[in-house]
Structure 1
């Protein structure tokens, strides 16, 4: 960066024609140049602020850079940690960067390291210097943003809550932990409320369980009552089917026997007709033979008389 004034450098950088998606390169360039300085220069913070105010895509990209740098904070030198933390504090104080990026920081003894605690210390001390303790406390107490600050001011475990209070007290920012101190001052009332709520939940669950059990028993009884009727209907249906089958078989047998009797009756009649036909044929043959014999005998007798 040869220019010493951000008002001169900003327009020059904005004149560079960037394709969609290359805005991240500008953010990385600013952070790399800032981290390599021996001391922090407010010049880089003002440049980042200009870009964030121009396009929201730069806000998103600087938020991504915040997460990336914090995830690799253990690999950075102490000077780079100082410069990067003060750069992001500048953007947060000027509302150029949304405060929900702080949700990525989890301030507990197990989740932090020596270098990450240095980063958090420099970040919040720079915010307090730029905004003041009262204004910073007001920002952090905003009820609409409490979900973003739960990881920095944890309330899930008293151990983590005390660790957060002690950390900010040690760095001279105990004033921003007033809400956490109030939370720890009345743990008994909170426990009693939780116990009452748990009891009510248990009673409700037991009532629901009894209702469910009674409904289940009634269903079982109705099913058991329905089963015999169903079985009886099945048995009656099966007996009816059997009777139908038997009746059909008997009818078939009767029809078969009737047919056989008809066949038997028809056979004698046919035999008789055959016999009568054969007898008539025999009588005809015998009569023709006799007539032939008579004619032959007559012819013979006629011949004899002629000879005489």
Structure 2
């Protein structure tokens, strides 16, 4: 567990070091500056467009003897008055760039400080302990990490495909039957997110075998939910409110059992790591 956590931290640190370079920061700042200039230009154009909508003053003819008064003002002068000076634009661009740099620096500092605190805590736990190097342990930890990430991504993709591809309920379906089918879909989405997705060609009883292998402690409860769903989906079974309530309670028990099993496994792994 310690080697796995250290490898994960080192990998994240290397990725951040490779990504945060002066060229990347310069590129980001250049993009922000260009975006700010574009926004200012569009604002100026919009203000100039509004200024052109102001009706022009009527020019009247006067006799030679009378005073003609002041000359009418050029309409373009109004747009010139509404334009933002270059000095203000530069100051605003500098303030925005400085704000982004400060926010980015704060994020990096927070991440680095948290990683440093975690490493310091791990090193303090090893005071007086003996560390034994195992050949190939780092490679196995990396493979295990990639495998977990791949399973998690496959579960998310399967859940997303199942959620987008499911058909809406028809109005003729009874409320109890719709509740059973909705509960079973929640079970499949939950198992897919946990790393046990259902394939398209698998029947409910086939996926039940995989679910029991994935979570053997809830074998009986999973079989109960699957049996009622198969009866509603492929048979003429019409459950009542009591059956729906029983299935909802069973579904909640399965989730709680899984959470307790995950917490117990995590504690056992942590205890085994300290005993090594």
Q: TM-score, normalised by structure 2?
A: 0.21
Higher share in helix = 1
Larger Rg: 1
Q: TM-score, normalised by structure 1?
A: 0.19
